[in-house]
Amino acid sequence: MVSTPFSRLANLVAGTLLLTTADTSGRYWPKVGVSARDVPALAQVIDQKTFNVLHKVPSPAVANGRSQFIPPGTTKESLFAKPFHVYDEEFYDIIGPNPTLTLLNQSGTNPRFHEAPVWSPINDEMFFAQSAGDPAAGTGLKKSAMIQKIALSEVTTAVSSQRSANGTVRVQFVAPTPEIINPNGGTNYRNRILIVGEGQGDSVAPAIYLMHPNAPYNTTVLLDNFFGRQFNSINDVAINPRSQEIYFTDPTYGYVQDFRPAPGVQKQVWRFNATTGAVGVVADGFNMPNGITFSPNGAFAYVTDTGIIQGNFGDNFTFPSTIYRYNVQDDGTFESRKVFAFLTPGVPDGIHVDTKGNVYAGGGDGVHVYNPAGKLVGKIYVGGTSANFQFAGKGRMVILAETELYFATLAAEGAFPGQMY
């Protein structure tokens, strides 16, 4: 073993004893951590041991859920230069030998690339929505956020081999009939695209819409009330893969962003059976229930709580920035809420799983990737907020980063990004 070249040794003992290092007392400790084996060109290992002790740790006024943490020995530029950050060697299988990250478009100050990414396999297109309620978008009360799409056929190998292909892919506006008001979440459903809207003012209630993926984007409203009462501002939606029922989250972002009235119902997770029309609640006890998804076999549901962000009421860093996991019973009810992960910087907003059950959440510096036990194994770093992202089948991902649109390639395959129920 002694004469084995380092990279081979690392492969043999990956994750255990890699090399030794002297601490300040001169004693040698085994360096346990991520192996440096065959690090892909656009990846870098982030050794968490290098910042377990910082000696000077800034106060919460400086280092909090809004601030970017730049690990010692790195810079924002070096983090972005190799944007696939390996926190645990399990990430190598997720990214594969040659992951790529490409900037597709920048929209200046207007957050056009925000939420509701839905991959439509019929035309190989990715739909998504502009931010509703962000003052920089001018959306919310006066006008609705827009739905847009890109054709993945335009994202060629030539495009993805570059770090910036700014402007080479068309971003097209989608105008459904009737209009979808302040869209914020979406998923595939019955060969159509299901989109949830946050509503507008007192009179446009939040709703679940079903949109045809082809122009003229004929749309049907599926649900807009609970026994005559408005929802607050429906935020995100997922389909239970075992029952095909529609599950959605209803925080109060429309209210705290000044485009919906004071909340009239508890912030909770609902389910809707589109066959019978039955609407019920599966979980409450949230501050701001936000993203939702199911594990590939439907045994678990993941719900994010973005309570830290209170819109015009400011941030409160004592509130959740948390992914919760539930056991999903055969009858579709949720049981045994468990804390799955707490995320920094930012909040875990959109959430998706791959076919192996790894969990991906959009955060304040990019996409954070957790193994099924809730361990952070890696990040796709974009240097700013990614509220949501979506797989486009195997090995492709579109990342929405507010004023930036990215395309990534990696080894993993999304669990049901384009599944047609």
Residues in contact with ligand NAG by the rule CB under 6 A: 103, 105-106, 164, 166-167, 170-171, 192, 210-212, 218-220, 243-245, 273, 275-276, 316, 318
Least distance between ligand NAG and beta carbon 35 (Å)? 33
Least distance between ligand NAG and beta carbon 4 (Å)? 43
CA dist 322 and 320 (Å) reads 5
Least distance between ligand NAG and beta carbon 19 (Å)? 38
Nearer to ligand NAG, 16 or 191 (CB): 191
Give me the sign of the Cα torsion angle 45, 306, 143, 124.
positive
For residue 361, give every residue at least 6 positions away whose Cβ sits within 8 Å of its Cβ, in sequence order, or none.
Answer: 291, 304, 323, 341, 343, 348, 349, 350, 351, 367, 368, 370
Least distance between ligand NAG and beta carbon 189 (Å)? 10
Least distance between ligand NAG and beta carbon 360 (Å)? 24
Nearer to ligand NAG, 212 or 394 (CB): 212
- Name the residue with tokens 């770090």: 163
Least distance between ligand NAG and beta carbon 275 (Å)? 3
Nearer to ligand NAG, 35 or 131 (CB): 131
For 93, the 3-state DSSP assignment is helix
Nearer to ligand NAG, 91 or 113 (CB): 113
Nearer to ligand NAG, 244 or 371 (CB): 244
CA dist 151 and 147 (Å) reads 14
CA dist 250 and 247 (Å) reads 10
Nearest CA to 197 out of 188, 189, 209 is that of 209
Nearer to ligand NAG, 34 or 103 (CB): 103
Least distance between ligand NAG and beta carbon 6 (Å)? 36
Buried b (16+ CB within 10 A) or exposed e, 377-405: bbbbbbbbbbbbbbbbeeebbbbbbbbbb
State the residue number with the nearest CB to ligand NAG: 167
CA dist 369 and 361 (Å) reads 7
- Whether the CB-CB separation of 269 and 282 falls below 8 Å is answered with yes
Nearer to ligand NAG, 315 or 413 (CB): 315
Name the pairing type of β-strands 388-391 and 100-106: unpaired
Least distance between ligand NAG and beta carbon 130 (Å)? 12
Nearer to ligand NAG, 378 or 418 (CB): 418
* Ramachandran region, residue 372 (left: φ > 0; alpha: ψ -120 to 50; beta: rest): alpha
CA dist 404 and 285 (Å) reads 34
- Whether the CB-CB separation of 159 and 407 falls below 8 Å is answered with yes
